[in-house]
Structure 1
């Protein structure tokens, strides 16, 4: 795909001597966004160039540079902490661009995932460039504790963590919630006292019956 856009400079600026000072530059910055059809882990050429003309109609062209960019997906797998073969559904995650280790804060949220499926897997919809990202669980599966740890994801072209353009090396565990035990020490005391009373009553009954038999 090729897109053209124009940049105009007003006459007042062009009439200034400083505009023609040797070494003076005009910087044009533009941002492009990949489409949904962009193929994962494949080179996507991004080229620039410049065409311009003067008042007399003479045109000139300056060849630019071509840079290949790549895009990837990130998948999370949710498992039981005590049995990593047990996959957990119902978990959600958020992914961020920045993490401040000093203050332990995340910023620039990109997306919250859908829930993990019955295989414990979920893939973010967003397509990611090479770089470092940070993932944190935002919803724990039913009967499990929320894992509040921050997980770093580093995407690099050629990394062994990538499979067909998907980062698949992120496995996050959760521990089961534990209900408080019923009873406890207080109940045990009452149980012991109750048992003692029953034994004492039995002994007393035996003594009374023995006296009556005399």
Structure 2
């Protein structure tokens, strides 16, 4: 570990700059030291993957807008740019942890409502005129809840081909999407089964 004492104002300015460029003061110091000593940037820290870093230049107003957008999403400018790139390249949404939890909460709430409505439908079927179907209205409501759940999953995953368009009256999978998804699952399962199994280490007798 390397440390040093600097003026508090200078330290604050450096930390603010480091958050915008490297994500943290320690990461910025590590990069600057490696570049000074070896003439090249250091390897990424453990757990950060093996991706390559790409530098992007912004004008002052653009940089300010980027910082504001990243701050609003509770993330760093680099992470915000990466999410935008992935959205464009992979055609999949990139949600922040807070947004994911919010969408999951909506899904769980809808599922709880659906279960309650289905129980009400079963109770209504056992009451009143046996020739009638008093639970039909509740079953229609339960189906609407399932449609809403499908819309939430479509928004979360961005897989509109499988889950359907969220703004459709009744989201449905595109032709062949279900079959392709099932084929991918079967192929993944086959690959898993064909992997060589690791043999447990043999017990030794101490020799």
Between structures 1 and 2, the one with greater strand share: 1
Same fold (TM over 0.5): no
Between structures 1 and 2, the one with greater helix share: 2
Larger Rg belongs to: 1
TM score, norm. by length of structure 1: 0.22
